[in-house]
Chains A and B, each alone.
Chain A
């Protein structure tokens, strides 16, 4: 669960962004900026909760740069997203100069009383920090928002056909900016989970590709919250499992074990998305297309 949570958080944010019709490839950059913002805030204030809040703000602030460039100045989304990743990596290195080798305050495990004392189940299911449960709650909330709520319907309309949505009087640009900011905040949380819980320390480039995996999981999950959850947990679970197998001395060559998280995640998610073939793969129709009201 610990290995899956950062990817899950970032992928959920990207899911909402893409459902609104925006392709933001800057997840990695927003994650690493979230990692350093959260780390710095947690160290300075001594509170991990404030750290996570600062991480969400930092990620959202960076994503708004992307939002302004792509939604108002109509720059190319793919190129801007890639630039955002490079910018985020550089910016985080700069911000993080004073924080190398510092230990962050510990993020508390949620005390669930007697539940945590249950054998095995207590440790596996109830023995985590609060961010893990937050990420699960957010998965449900986002699923409900996208499929059951009015606002979610509007957001999907904007993603499927921004011209039609505009003609109906929906505010395309405002919706997309909100989605972008939300995606940035989620990526920021994911990054902070790495620097505050999973590692926990600050080092340059510590996201090490997690943002790209999050992007891939959104695609393979055919843009559904449930699929994102399965993908992230599958990837995280197999990552940990292969290390455990190595440590236990399994007679499988190390190289196969190392690639197994990627292979198994792709295989299972392809199977999941194959079921939805009749309704197309599920990509929003206007994904990555620019919108301008006068066109």
Chain B
């Protein structure tokens, strides 16, 4: 009984403290991660951004994090605990944390929440995601220029719009500079299974692919490409620079640091508002890792030009004319895809072979 009273009092005290955060106390920012910080990919990049927040604001913020939180009831418990212990802002960094975030946010109206890659918002809940397809268009361009067999292998995870969009963006860019290019897509139904990723890369290489693109998170395909010799790959989510200069010739990096610094700053000066953002190369949320010397100078220069053009809006990875795989018209000449279509993309563009699993 005594303990319960004590816990209740502690919780109340924590709540009061939360509501009345004064400027002299550091802002407490919580992060929950779906994987271990050492995964070298998704969670690793979120944790780098957390450290960037600490470096930016110094004593004005205090960060806490919890790694390997399963998506579901545990996530709700972890966030409740964070809120009770005085967190003012909580970043939930996986799609599956969406409903737990909404539930906890309802109970702690004074705490602000940021949810990655979701689509729900509330008074105190924002969501944010990155336009990875812009980065994939750059990798696709490099892939199209670099392939000698005109066979490009693509290791895909789940048939969701995010992944389909990446395949389409990469294919459009590759076939624009190399009309003979062919994409072989292998679906693995996993984000992370190094053994199967390695086997898939091996199978693609045996079928003649000399460029491997991947939408799964491990470096196993890089290892397979290195063993095979003249095959190139790209880093995914993280730089994977340990395989540079070849087989890894460039990479897509999720850079959350500018956004996290911006949002923490907004809470600090009291301007935080709920929003829903989808940022790309222009805001630095999608970064292209160093394009190595293995890529010819002119291709590197053109890739850089395309990056700049996408950043300042002169170029769009999905600009008409583009047909769907079945030949029906999608975008007319001069038309670019709107966000709603992109977010729900469930079809291949013309020229891609095979079916999307359903």
- Contact residues in A for B218 (Cβ distance below 8 Å): 199, 201, 203
What's the A-B contact tally at a CB cutoff of 8 Å? 86
Dominant SS among interface residues on chain B: mixed
Q: Is the CB of A206 within 8 A of B186?
A: no
Closest Cβ neighbor of A96 among chain B residues: B38
A100 contacts partner chain B, Cβ-Cβ < 8 Å: yes
Q: Which residues of B contact A240 (CB under 8 A)?
A: 199, 202-203
Contact mask for chain A residues 162-182; partner B; CB cutoff 8 A; 1 contact, 0 none:
000000000000000000000
Q: Which residues of A contact B194 (CB under 8 A)?
A: 199, 201, 203, 206
Q: Is A292 an interface residue (CB 8 A)?
A: no
The answer to whether B223 touches A253 (Cβ under 8 A) is: no
What CA separation (Å) do A243 and B212 show in the bound complex?
Answer: 14
Task: Tell me the complex Cα distance, A97–B37, Å.
Answer: 10
Give complex CA distance A2, B209 in Å: 20
0/1 per residue, B214-226, Cβ < 8 Å to A?
0000111001000
Assess the B219–A101 pair: CB atoms within 8 A.
yes
- Stretch in B19-27, B278-286, B349-357 touching the partner: B349-357
Considering the complex, give the chain B residue whose CB is closest to the CB of A248: B207
Nearest opposing residue in chain A for B35, CB measure: A204
Do B220 and A199 touch (CB < 8 A)?
Answer: yes
B40 in contact (CB, < 8 A) = yes
CB pair A247 B203 closer than 8 Å = yes
CB distance from B334 to the nearest CB of A (A): 33
- Is A258 part of the contact surface with B, judged by Cβ < 8 Å? yes
Given A201-B218, A201-B223, A208-B195, the answer on whether A97 and B38 have CB atoms closer than 8 Å is yes
Is A244's CB under 8 angstroms from B206's CB?
A: yes
A244 touches B207 (CB 8 A): yes
Say yes or no for A249: interface residue by CB 8 A criterion.
Answer: yes
- A194 touching B195 in the complex, CB below 8 Å, given contacts A203-B218, A249-B184, A249-B354: yes
B130 near A: Cβ within 8 Å? no
Q: Known contacts A247-B203, A247-B207; is A199 also within 8 Å of B198 by CB?
A: yes
A118, chain B: closest CB distance, angstroms: 18
Q: Which of B185-199 contact A (CB under 8 A)?
A: 185-187, 189, 192-196, 198-199
In the bound complex, CA of A198 to CA of B207 (Å):
19
B163-191 CB mask vs A (1 if < 8 Å, else 0) is: 00000000000000000000011110100
Q: Is the CB of B36 within 8 A of A93?
A: yes
CB within 8 Å for A246 and B203 given contacts A198-B195, A203-B218, A206-B195: yes
Residue total for B at the interface (Cβ-Cβ under 8 A): 33
Q: What's the least CB distance linking B173 to chain A, in Å?
A: 21
Asked if A288 is at the interface of the complex by the 8 Å CB criterion, the answer is no
State whether the Cβ of B302 lies closer than 8 Å to any Cβ in chain A: no
Chain B CB within 10 A, most for which of A93, A97, A100, A101 = A101
Q: Are B192 and A247 in contact (CB under 8 A)?
A: no
Given contacts A199-B195, A203-B194, A258-B189, contact A253 B355 (CB under 8 A): yes
Given A101-B242, A253-B355, does the pair A203, B39 have CB atoms closer than 8 Å? yes
The reply to whether B198 and A198 form a contact with Cβ atoms under 8 Å apart is yes
User: Which chain A residues (243-257) contact chain B, with CB distance < 8 Å?
Assistant: 243-244, 246-249, 253-255
Q: Report A124 CB to chain B, min CB distance, Å.
A: 12
Q: Is A101 within 8 A of B353, CB to CB?
A: no
Is B116 interfacial (CB-CB < 8 Å)? no
> What is the CA–CA distance of A198 and B196 in the complex, to the nearest angstrom?
9
Q: A100 with B198: in contact, given A201-B220, A246-B187, A246-B203 (CB under 8 Å)?
A: no
User: Is B204 engaged at the interface, CB distance under 8 Å to the other chain?
Assistant: yes
Is B140 an interface residue, CB under 8 A from the partner? no
User: Would A101 and B40 count as touching, CB distance under 8 A?
Assistant: yes
Asked if residues B199 and A3 are in contact (CB atoms below 8 Å), the reply is yes
B153 at the interface (CB under 8 A from A): yes
CA distance A239 to B195 in the complex (A): 11
* Contact partners of B40 in chain A: CB under 8 A: 100-101, 203
Contact assessment for B38 and A100 in the assembled complex, using a CB-CB cutoff below 8 Å = yes
Interfacial chain A residues near B207, Cβ < 8 Å: 244, 247-248
Given A100-B39, A204-B36, decide whether A243 and B203 contact each other with a Cβ distance below 8 A. Answer: yes
A197 to chain B, nearest CB (A): 10
Instruction: State the Cβ distance, B211 to closest chain A Cβ, in Å.
Output: 13
A253→B206 CA distance, assembly (Å): 21
Taking each of A198, A201, A247, which has the highest tally of chain B beta carbons within 10 Å of its own beta carbon? A247
Task: List CB contacts (< 8 Å) of B340-358 with chain A.
Answer: 353-355, 357
A198 vs B218: C-alpha distance when bound (angstroms): 13
Of chain A, the residue at the smallest CB distance from B240 is A101
* Contact bitstring A1-23, B, C-beta under 8 A = 1, else 0: 01100000000000000000000
Interchain nearest-CB distance for B223 vs A (Å): 6
Distance between Cα atoms of A42 and B39 in the complex (Å): 20
Q: Give the chain A neighbours of B242 by CB distance below 8 A.
A: 101, 103
- Cross-chain contact A244 with B203 (CB below 8 angstroms): yes
B200 within 8 A of A: yes
Q: Are A201 and B219 in contact (CB under 8 A)?
A: yes
Name which residue of chain A comes closest to B193, CB basis: A208
CB-CB under 8 A from A203, the residues of chain B are 39-40, 192, 194, 218
Interface residues of A (CB under 8 A from B): 2-3, 93, 97, 100-101, 103, 194, 198-201, 203-204, 206, 208, 210, 239-240, 243-244, 246-249, 253-255, 258
Q: Which 8 A-B pairs have the closest CB atoms?
A: A243-B203, A100-B38, A199-B194, A247-B207, A254-B357, A244-B203, A101-B40, A246-B186
Q: Can you list 23 pairs linking A and B with CB atoms under 8 Å apart?
A: A3-B195, A3-B199, A100-B36, A101-B219, A194-B195, A198-B195, A199-B195, A199-B198, A199-B220, A201-B218, A201-B220, A203-B40, A204-B39, A206-B195, A239-B199, A244-B206, A246-B184, A246-B185, A246-B187, A246-B203, A247-B153, A249-B354, A258-B187
Given contacts A199-B220, A204-B39, A244-B207, list 4 more A-B pairs with CB under 8 A.
Answer: A199-B194, A206-B194, A247-B204, A247-B206
Q: Which residues does B use to contact A, with CB under 8 Å?
A: 36, 38-40, 153, 184-187, 189, 192-196, 198-200, 202-204, 206-207, 209, 218-220, 223, 242, 353-355, 357
